[in-house]
Amino acid sequence: MASKISSPSIKQLNYFVAVAKHASYRRAAEELRMSQPALTNQIAILESTLNTQLFERSRAGTLLSPSGRDLLDAARQVLLSMKEFEDMAAAKIDGHQTTYRLGVPPTVGPYLLPHVLPDLHDLHVNLKLYVREATHRELQKDLLDGVYDLAIVPLPLTIPQLAMTPLFIEPLKFVVPINHPLSGQKSITPSKLRGEKILTLEEKHHFHLQVQEICERWGADLQRDYEGTSLDTLRQMVVMGMGVAFLPGLYVHSEMHNPEALYVCELRNIPILRKHALVWRANSPNRVFYRELAADLRTIINNRLCDVIVATR
């Protein structure tokens, strides 16, 4: 007769998932805000409880064992079910919980949220948003895994288990050094992009994919050896004359109040747009409230940023 296995705790499963995510006890401990020895001890206790080894140490880092790989998805599902249970209980008590984990892309959050969160707080005085930045792929994966409750994500979505409501459409602006031959023109014909050195962000950003498509379509030269790590870095490389770039309209509106060293224009008759949505797990017990939040965000965007982005319905 097989021996009975003791039940691991929710905290232990959370530790297991965190170490698997980072493939590192040190980085997982930093995320969990605990000491590495304490985390190592908790994983050892969990392995003893389950009577199986979950991780293997190697030069490449901390790797999942075969048993660990088999158990990881089940652990994630347990944590996600517990999160949904807590959300449902909070909804029964307060109508909705007061603190949500919101994920945003680094090319959107810093330039959108300062304009919309004060009004959103006025509408929902008990609402608190814990905001973290991640790339679009990480946002969708982590949303599905329960790391976030909701996220602002560029469309299209790639995971069918996620639901969304469109928020806004954002234009991309064409930016050149002030001494560039195309400087001074309100709009340029797309054919003039041919041969231009186009700077962009690293490939992990959704923004990179759009710029790559523009370059392929109009014969511009995408500078892969000089990809920026942030929009500020990208802007400074344009100032230094290393090339030209496309920058999101929200960034231009928020950060480029006196662009003496740069000139901002658009492509003639070819609007280049980014679509963003508020996204959550399709089975979330708070999905009705999330749709309400999306509607409120669209109203605020229409009131505060209608000259920069277009709220969608």
Percent of the chain whose pLDDT exceeds 70: 95
Q: Which of 40-54, 86-100, 142-156, 258-272 has the lowest average pLDDT?
A: 86-100
Q: Could you write out the DSSP letters of every residue in 230-274? A: SHHHHHHHHHTTS-EEEEEHHHHHHH-SS-TTEEEEEETT---EE
Alpha-carbon span 73 to 44, nearest angstrom = 19
* Sign of the C-alpha dihedral computed for residues 207, 211, 216 and 222 taken in this order: negative
Alpha-carbon span 185 to 244, nearest angstrom = 14
Element (H, E) at 284: none
List Cα–Cα distances, 161 to 87, 143, 144, 145, in angstroms. Answer: 18, 10, 7, 11
Indicate whether 258 pLDDT > 90: no
pLDDT of residue 259: 64
pLDDT of residue 1: 47
- pLDDT tens string 200-236: 999 888 889 889 999 999 999 999 888 888 999 999 9
Alpha-carbon span 160 to 281, nearest angstrom = 9
Indicate whether 96 pLDDT > 70: no
pLDDT of residue 108: 96
pLDDT of residue 133: 95
- pLDDT tens string 15-27: 999 999 888 999 9
- pLDDT tens string 192-202: 999 999 999 99
pLDDT of residue 97: 59
The mean predicted confidence, pLDDT, of the chain is 89
Indicate whether 275 pLDDT > 60: yes
Alpha-carbon span 236 to 243, nearest angstrom = 10
pTM of the predicted model over 0.85 = no
Task: Strands of the chain (E only): list them.
Answer: 55-58, 61-64, 99-104, 128-133, 150-154, 162-177, 187-188, 197-199, 221-222, 244-248, 262-267, 273-281, 310-311
Indicate whether 6 pLDDT > 70: yes
Percent of the chain whose pLDDT exceeds 90: 65
* Average pLDDT of the residues in 185-193: 91
Q: Which residue has the higher pLDDT, 302 or 96?
A: 302
Element (H, E) at 226: none
- pLDDT tens string 152-177: 999 998 888 999 999 999 999 999 99
Indicate whether 102 pLDDT > 60: yes
pLDDT of residue 274: 93
Q: Could you write out the DSSP letters of every residue in 142-171? A: HHHTTS-SEEEEESSP--TTEEEEEEEEEE
